[in-house]
Amino acid sequence: MKQHVQHLVIGAGAAGSAAAHALARRGQDVLLLEQFQIGHGRGSSFGPSRIFRLAYEEPDYAGLAQAALTSWRALESESGERLYWRTGGLDLGPAGTPSLEAVHASLSALDAAPERLSRRELARRYPQWQVPPDWEAVYSPEAGIVSPQITLRVLTDLARQHGARVLEGVATLEIEPGQQPAVRTSAGVVTCDHLIVAAGAWLPRLVPGLQPSLSVTLAASSFYRPDDLAAFQPERFPVFITHDDEFQAYGFPAFGVPGVKIGVDVVRPVTSGDDRTFEVPPQVSEASDTFMRRYLPGASAVMERQTCLITRAPGGDFILALHPDCPQITLASPCSGHGFKFTPLLGELLAAHALGERHPWHLPRFALPPQAMRQTAEQQPLPGGL
């Protein structure tokens, strides 16, 4: 394979698939390369569910989430498939917890009609929960579920329909910046007018100048079989996040699997795309099981556990920026553990970037962090030598 394309996108996770779709939809010539298969389980975008929510303390992200909802609706219309399931959301914790108050304030500022639920009201509406006497909840009507499994299939199918080529099992080995960036792949060399590198946990390896700015950690999810599956269906059991010193947990109703899925943040081992294991740290399994027995005792039989990679930029922000030495390359790291909810909007943003346009949601905070790419010229050039 030796060829030239207008737009080359590396990585068919959420970011790369959305970018390829957005560019192809605009009539551009696009090649999307994925080292594994679409929907594989080694990166960040797989599995049945991710939380969609508007509640962010940062007004930038709250606004971005509102704009993303419009993009999800547009993608639903284009594909004819359902991509966002509104379940409502519960933020739970001891009354007066600052982060819980912040959720209420941020939803109120968006006119998103949050409701405060006393413990008693929580027990009446959602008897699945058994929380301590001093807890309360904030209910947010717009929260819900978006699905990596379904979204990636839809985005790559649509990208193909719009004329993009999507190649699976083709790894990018080296990138050489230039007027026409060149990429050496396991199937030959490709040159392009613009390159988007959306390689998730592998981005620090492909672009070593980003190593000081990105940390890759292993996160785990556990699935539990409820005694009464009907009580944990999406229409009866909202997505949730807990605000508690002991357990920072989040979870989902039985969606796409016959069980409740939760993640509990206790430890996140540092790793990399290549060196990661698939072992769930025992502290995480223990904390998840304790959480379920204590707060959701009707769903405490373990079904399965999974690991997933989180690539975090400083401050939990995203990186969506031109390469400082090569404006023909866009670097995309929109994960930080919360990026999936923005997927179709991020695609539009990345497409605008590649086309030299200014998108209204291209926030200044998506710029490269100050420590990034400093060593590019001297010690750590992008791998070259094509």
385: helix, coil or strand?
coil
Of 16, 114, 209, 347, which lies in the binding site for ligand FAD, with binding defined by CB under 6 A? Answer: 16
Of 23, 24, 122, 206, which lies in the binding site for ligand FAD, with binding defined by CB under 6 A? Answer: 206
Q: Are 332 and 196 in contact (CB under 8 A)?
A: yes
Contact partners, residue 138, CB within 8 Å, separation at least 6: 55, 90, 91, 100, 103, 104, 107, 114, 115, 116, 117
What is the per-residue binding string for ligand FAD in 96-135, x denoting contact by CB under 6 A? ----------------------------------------
Q: Does 172 bind ligand FAD (CB under 6 A)?
A: yes
What is the per-residue binding string for ligand FAD in 27-66, x denoting contact by CB under 6 A? ------xxxx------xxx----xx---------------
Give the Cβ contact number of residue 239 at 10 Å: 27
Of 114, 200, 251, 347, which lies in the binding site for ligand FAD, with binding defined by CB under 6 A? Answer: 200
Question: Residue 323 carries which side chain, given as an amino acid letter?
Answer: H
Q: Does 199 bind ligand FAD (CB under 6 A)?
A: yes
β-strand partners of 172: 185
d(CA 308, CA 224): 18
Q: Are 342 and 362 in contact (CB under 8 A)?
A: no
Give the CA distances from residue 286 to residues 112, 151, 218, 265, 292, in Å, rounded to whole numbers and listed in that order.
36, 31, 16, 12, 10
Of 5, 7, 8, 11, which lies in the binding site for ligand FAD, with binding defined by CB under 6 A? Answer: 11
Q: Does 266 bind ligand FAD (CB under 6 A)?
A: no
Task: Report in angstroms how near the CB of residue 351 gets to ligand FAD at its nearest.
Answer: 15
Of 8, 15, 154, 373, which lies in the binding site for ligand FAD, with binding defined by CB under 6 A? Answer: 15
Give the containing element (helix H, strand E) for 312: strand 301-312
Nearer to ligand FAD, 264 or 352 (CB): 264
Task: Report in angstroms how near the CB of residue 203 gets to ligand FAD at its nearest.
Answer: 7
Q: Does 198 bind ligand FAD (CB under 6 A)?
A: yes
Size of the site for ligand FAD (CB under 6 A): 37
Q: Does 202 bind ligand FAD (CB under 6 A)?
A: yes
DSSP assignment, residue 340?
A: G
Question: How many residues appear in the chain?
Answer: 386
β-strand partners of 136: 93
Task: Give residues in contact with ligand FAD (CB under 6 A).
Answer: 10-16, 33-36, 43-45, 50-51, 171-172, 198-202, 206, 219, 221, 263, 308-310, 334-335, 337-341
